């Protein structure tokens, strides 16, 4: 099964959230943003997955879906895994598809009538599910030739739980 995975062009953080800028998802999320801006309540779900790219390359993906629509997948490559504990600590992820929100601020999210209509999605409690991801990684590590990378990912995920425990 082939699925398209969008890679963030930018990852940053605030005190409350991790910010992901993923312009490649603009088309996929435009209908969702429109529905949000019209005031519609939309139930969405998300999960963290371990995706095998080839024999020894893995990617962590954040899968987001809603109302029977296609799922969008945001990929975290090996060099982005360090942000997983940050997501657990910050708890929330803000998914943006428009660089202008970073470059210009709130003014970039205003429509012609002066209403704030950003192309952004807040994923609340995004750190939830990292425990399940850890289990998937541990299971895969038992059967994989590239278990060194998976062991590295397990260590990163373990650190996110320890760091979160120390914050409280």
Angle, CA of 124, 51 and 121, to the nearest 5° = 25
CA distances from 76 to 29, 37, 127 (A): 19, 28, 14
Per-residue model confidence (pLDDT) at position 101: 83
pLDDT of 2 above 70: no
Q: Which is higher by pLDDT, 68 or 141?
A: 141
Kindly state the percentage of the chain with pLDDT values over 90: 49
Q: What's the mean pLDDT in 140-155?
A: 84
pLDDT of 165 above 80: no
């Amino acid at each position: 099964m082939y699925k398209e995975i969008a890679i963030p062009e930018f990852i940053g953080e605030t005190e409350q959230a991790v910010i992901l800028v993923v312009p490649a998802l603009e088309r996929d999320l435009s209908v969702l943003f429109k529905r949000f801006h019209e005031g519609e309540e939309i139930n969405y779900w998300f999960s963290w997955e371990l995706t095998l790219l080839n024999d020894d390359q893995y990617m962590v993906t954040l899968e987001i879906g809603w109302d029977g629509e296609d799922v969008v997948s945001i990929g975290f490559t090996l060099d982005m895994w360090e942000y997983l504990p940050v997501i657990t600590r910050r708890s929330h992820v803000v998914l943006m598809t428009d660089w202008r929100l970073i470059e210009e601020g709130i003014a970039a999210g205003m429509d012609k009538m002066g209403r704030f209509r950003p192309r952004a999605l807040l994923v609340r409690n995004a750190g939830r599910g990292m425990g399940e991801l850890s289990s998937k990684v541990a299971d895969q590590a038992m059967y994989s030739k590239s278990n060194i990378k998976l062991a590295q990912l397990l260590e990163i995920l373990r650190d996110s739980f320890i760091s979160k425990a120390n914050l409280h």
